[in-house]
Amino acid sequence: MRLTFNGHACVTLEASDGRVVVMDPYRSGAFGGKLSHAPLEIAANVVTVTHYHVDHSHVGPELADADGVLPPVIDKTGSAAGFDFLVRTTYHDRVGGTHMGLTGMVVFTIDGLRVAHLERGLGQRCPGHQGA
């Protein structure tokens, strides 16, 4: 597996068989240009999104395959591109989600390695939100 940090909270994981997972893609130039990381140009097989803020959920044509088809988006427990994803709902802040809402911790296995994307890593599980 090859892991690439793209900036902000976005990482790309490429499996040994060539499948590509992009986690938390950002929109370059968001927030009045404050998010200054280079635009993503990756043909993704699947995208995971921890929450729907523009710096974590931008799935645009730059992630499409050669035919212009956008990858499936995983934001809850499910399967895509031959991977099984577990998503656990957590608070996006330290005050029960009252300021920034909910987010998800995404876990899956790639090339025999268990990977977890914790977003901010606060890890305060939400009562009643099992995620699966």
Give the domain ranges of the chain.
2-117
Walk along the chain (132 residues) and give the pLDDT tens digit of each residue.
999 999 888 999 999 999 999 999 998 878 788 878 888 999 999 999 998 878 878 999 999 999 999 999 999 999 999 999 999 887 666 666 666 667 788 999 999 999 998 866 544 554 554 444
What CATH number has the domain spanning 2-117? 3.60.15.10
How do beta strands 83-91 and 102-110 pair? Answer: antiparallel
Burial of 35 (0-12, 13-18, 19+ CB in 10 A): middle
Q: Which residues pair with 20 in a beta bridge?
A: 14
Nearest to 24 by CA among 103, 129, 111: 103
Taking the whole predicted model, whether its pTM rises above 0.75 is answered as yes
